[in-house]
Structure 1
Amino acid sequence: MIDLDDFTLAPREWDLVLTAIFYDRFGWHTRSEYEAFVYRYGFDLMNWPGYPVLADLRELMMVVWLGQQVPANRKSAEEFDRRMQSLRTGCGRQEWQPF
């Protein structure tokens, strides 16, 4: 097992936010993949009023984590710069690369 920092006993919204932003903001899932997920799970987080705030928080956490990798990895530094620019301008999330 890896990535236990995402393993929680918490509200479902926290558990679902990554799947939603991977589709909605980054384009890492197709529409049909996301719709199939929502159908099987039975809840679409993007219809929840708190989604934008939770998604912004999760994105920030992703960037902060990546920032910790910068000293050891040039690829991390390039991706960190891309993500910081995206957060500053509100544009370019589709250009984020999975890390």
Structure 2
Amino acid sequence: MIQLETELNPVQFTLPQGLIQGAPQHRNALHTPEGVVLRDWDTLAIGQPEWDLITIEVHCRRFGYGLPYEAFADEYGLDITLEPGYKTLAAIRELRMVTTNARKMHHAPETDTEVKRRVQGLRDNDTELRWHIL
């Protein structure tokens, strides 16, 4: 964790600070005939849009959601995987996702195997390991 903090300090963000959703994920999107609308704004903040972008990239890569990430990046106009701080931001987001689920394991013991599998994947630096929804 200290290593990630040290790696984050020099990261230069490309985009200006702005309104971020905080948890842009598949389950927080409503698909309408007019397009996609984000919902679940309880983590709304002013911050770096790269945090929302890295979350979308991680969800596409780890869970394989619908639209390929490349199509999203083309439409958005910025591919977070090409940014200098990508690996650090992705590692922080993935660690947060794993620790959030690990913290809830006592309420959902059936998630034990998946959480342990994800932890091992992070230890092995397996950035392509598909995760199962918990």
TM-score (norm 1): 0.80
| 1:79 paired residue number | 114
Match of 2:52 among 15, 22, 42: 15
1:27 Cα deviation after fit: 5.2
1:4 corresponding residue in structure 2: 42
Structure 1 gaps, min length 5? none
Unpaired stretches in structure 2, ≥5 consecutive residues: 1-38
Q: How many correspondences in the alignment?
A: 96
- Greater CA deviation, 13-22 or 54-63? 13-22
Determine the C-alpha separation between the residues in 2 that align with 1:70 and 1:34: 29
1:28 aligns with 2:64: yes
Matched, 1:96 2:126: no
1:37 — aligned with what?
A: 72
Q: Percent identity between the aligned chains?
A: 29
CA deviations on 1:15-64 (whole Å, 9 max, x unpaired) are 1001112234x25146x622221122111111100010000000000011
- Show structure 1 runs of 4+ deviating over 4 A: none
Alignment RMSD, CA only? 2.2
Kept in 1, the 8 Å contact 2:53–2:80? The answer is yes
Structure with the bigger percentage of strand: 2
Larger radius of gyration: 2
Q: Report the TM-score, using the length of structure 2 for normalisation.
A: 0.61
Q: Contact 1:66 / 1:80 at 8 angstroms: preserved in 2?
A: yes
Query: In structure 2, the residue corresponding to 1:86 is in which secondary structure?
Result: helix
Structure 2 CA distance for aligned equivalents of residues 72 and 86 of structure 1: 23
